[in-house]
Amino acid sequence: MSNPYVELEIENEVGYIEFFHPAHNSLPGVILAKLTQTIIEAGENDAIKVVVLKSGGERTFCAGASFKELMNIDDAETGRIFFSGFANVINAMRKCPKLIIGRIQGKTVGGGIGLASATDYCMATKFAAIKLSELNLGIGPFVVGPAVERKLGISGMSQIAVDANTFYSAEWAKQKGLFTHVFESTTVLDEAVKTFAENLCTYNQEAMKEMKTMFWKGTDDWDNLLTERAKISGRLVLSEFTKKTLKKFL
């Protein structure tokens, strides 16, 4: 695989949304936009009862924002638009009327943790260590912060946000509530996700829709909140500190 993509496949009433980017499944604006639209379409598709969010490849679920694209941002409005891409994905997941299962096969960084946190039920392998690296780049996890805090609590979120250089184990993430199960391999994970998702499809769809609404109670302000957070990140990404740091990584 070498070309980025976002694909939706339907199998046994389960909609599998898979994204991929050759740079460790990093997320440029075009992938974020496609991912948002695909989640919306899956929510509206009557042939789908449950959604699974996954990424291609074996080693990394998501490396977060595309460093190459961050490096090319040269004004606050462009920065706001880019970080709004993450806001749009999270809000699409929040508003999707169907339960979304996260399938996390490997390391997850920055915005990738936001995606995992915005799922309704998240399963992972033991290789799915997480790192909230934004502070290390001079930005901060402003857009994904509400979703991460909702799953990890303010204590867990602040711990990994401040300790921005450390990968925390999948077991740690499970203990904090991000992952529901941690499996030994991707093969076992995939079997578990498939079985769990297809079993959910046998449940009352209206009951699951109402239950999801209950889960996300108190987040109605996220359309505005995450947009305001995107403005903060869009401004900070212009700093000399961030530009120098990104050059080191690139």
**Is residue 155 assigned to a domain?**
yes
Count Cβ neighbours within 10 Å for each residue of 66-87 and write b for 16 or more, e otherwise.
bbebbeebeebebbbebbbbbb
Contacts of 113 (CB under 8 A, 6+ apart): 64, 130, 131, 132, 141, 144, 148, 160, 178
pLDDT of 148 strictly over 80 = yes
pLDDT of 250 strictly over 80 = no
What are the beta bridge partners of residue 26? 64
**Is residue 242 assigned to a domain?**
no
**Is residue 12 assigned to a domain?**
yes
**Is residue 205 assigned to a domain?**
no
What per-residue confidence (pLDDT) applies to 2?
81
Separation between Cα atoms, residue 97 and residue 104, nearest integer Å: 22
Q: How many domains does the chain have?
A: 1
pLDDT of 93 strictly over 80 = yes
Contacts of 58 (CB under 8 A, 6+ apart): 105, 106, 186
C-alpha R_g of the chain: 17
**Is residue 230 assigned to a domain?**
no
User: What tokens appear for 110 in the block?
Assistant: 């920055």
User: Which of 107, 35, 23 is CA-nearest to residue 70?
Assistant: 23
Residue 157's CATH number: 3.90.226.10
Question: What range defines the domain where residue 171 resides?
Answer: 5-187
7, 31 contact by CB (below 8 A) = no
> What pLDDT, in 10s, does the model give residues 101-146?
999 999 999 999 999 999 999 999 999 999 999 999 999 999 999 9
Model's pTM, two decimal places? 0.96
Separation between Cα atoms, residue 66 and residue 28, nearest integer Å: 5
